[in-house]
């Protein structure tokens, strides 16, 4: 059966996922496009359902997505042109999207965290959020921890910027950010916070063992309370008159510098 009405309950539910309120109510977020859907299926993400455009259901890439979804027991709904257009959030839809269940973000004990962790303090731009998730995965960080005040990691823009990493990187929320950092210190982690008054990261001796890299708010950086929790303050040296870097870029430079020995091969 093809769903043609934009007022259909399933279509309305998908459309609601473009807003934070809808995502919180449904416990779902959208992954749109052939590659994100296939990555969600391959990553074993908990998919609620898949929607495909009637006009694209016979294209090879969409058919592959449908076949994988059916093997995984994920419901597939076919939407007519107007119905699919009403739920798509991109300018050039590829004819397939998935409603994915939001994972459990409960923070485990510090001793159960991986050896390299990125912690974000009040990072508010979804593009930066997605970029940092993607960079964290690429640089071998096993988890990203969010402080109160961070933007949603599962908004459509963040998911697109993460390019699949939002489905694979372990994400956690720390209700008390300083308590989390202090717990990591007690568990043997170095806590390295990005700060303009810190040590040049390229002059830093490699950190032994485990570490948490803290990236602060785009405008105000890390808070004084977070600085007090840190074992190291690190900066990216800059030439010319540049005063600061985009949070996503800074996170990438700092993380790769800290991981240089582990990624040396």
Question: Which parts of 98-150 fold into alpha helices (H)?
Answer: 126-138
* Tens-place pLDDT, residues 206-220: 887 899 999 999 999
Among 99, 132, 97, CA closest to 117: 132
Q: Which fold has domain 110-258?
A: Alpha/beta knot (3.40.1280)
Enter the pTM of the model.
0.92
Q: How many Cα neighbours within 13 Å face the side chain of 93?
A: 22
Q: Which burial class, exposed, middle or buried, applies to 102 when counting CB atoms under 10 A from its CB (0-12, 13-18, 19+)? A: middle
CATH of 2-101, one of 3.30.1330.30, 3.40.50.2000, 1.10.357.10, 3.40.50.2300: 3.30.1330.30
Q: What is the mean pLDDT of residues 126-136?
A: 96
Alpha-helical segments (H) within 92-223: 126-138, 156-162, 177-186
Quote the pLDDT of residue 163.
85
What are 143-200's pLDDT values in tens digits? 999 999 999 999 999 999 998 899 899 999 999 999 999 999 999 999 999 999 999 9
Write down the domain spans for the chain.
Answer: 2-101, 110-258
Give the separation between CA 152 and CA 39, rounded to whole angstroms.
20
Residue 93, pLDDT score: 87
220-242 per-residue burial string, b: 16 or more CB within 10 A, e: under 16 = ebbbeebbebbebbbbbeeeeee
Backbone dihedral angles phi then psi of residue 201, each to the nearest 5 degrees:
-65, -25
Average pLDDT rounded to a whole number, residues 111-127? 96
CB 147 within 8 A of CB 177: yes
Q: How far apart are CA 31 and CA 94, in angstroms?
A: 12
Question: Which of the residue ranges 14-18, 28-32, 88-92, 149-153 would you say has the lowest mean pLDDT?
Answer: 88-92
């Amino acid at each position: 059966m093809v769903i043609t009405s934009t007022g259909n309950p399933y279509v309305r539910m998908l459309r609601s996922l473009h807003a934070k309120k809808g995502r919180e109510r449904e416990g779902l977020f959208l992954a749109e496009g052939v590659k994100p859907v296939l990555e969600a299926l391959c990553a074993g993400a908990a998919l609620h359902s898949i929607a495909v455009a009637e006009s694209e259901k016979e294209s090879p890439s969409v058919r592959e997505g449908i076949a994988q979804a059916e093997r995984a027991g994920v419901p597939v709904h076919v939407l007519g042109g107007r119905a699919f257009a009403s739920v798509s959030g991109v300018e050039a839809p590829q004819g397939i999207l998935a409603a994915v269940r939001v994972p459990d973000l409960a923070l485990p004990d510090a001793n159960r965290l991986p050896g390299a962790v990125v912690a974000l303090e009040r990072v508010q731009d979804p593009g930066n959020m997605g970029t940092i998730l993607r960079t964290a995965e690429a640089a071998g960080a096993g988890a990203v921890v969010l402080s109160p005040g961070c933007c949603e990691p599962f908004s459509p823009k963040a998911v697109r910027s993460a390019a699949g990493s939002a489905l694979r990187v372990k994400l956690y929320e720390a209700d008390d950010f300083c308590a989390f950092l202090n717990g990591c210190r007690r568990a043997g982690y170095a806590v390295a916070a990005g700060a303009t008054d810190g040590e040049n990261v390229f002059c830093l001796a490699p950190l032994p063992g485990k570490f948490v890299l803290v990236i602060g708010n785009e405008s105000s950086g890390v808070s004084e309370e977070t600085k007090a929790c840190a074992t190291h303050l690190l900066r990216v040296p800059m030439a010319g008159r540049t005063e600061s870097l985009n949070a996503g870029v800074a996170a990438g430079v700092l993380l790769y510098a800290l991981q240089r020995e582990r990624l040396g091969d």
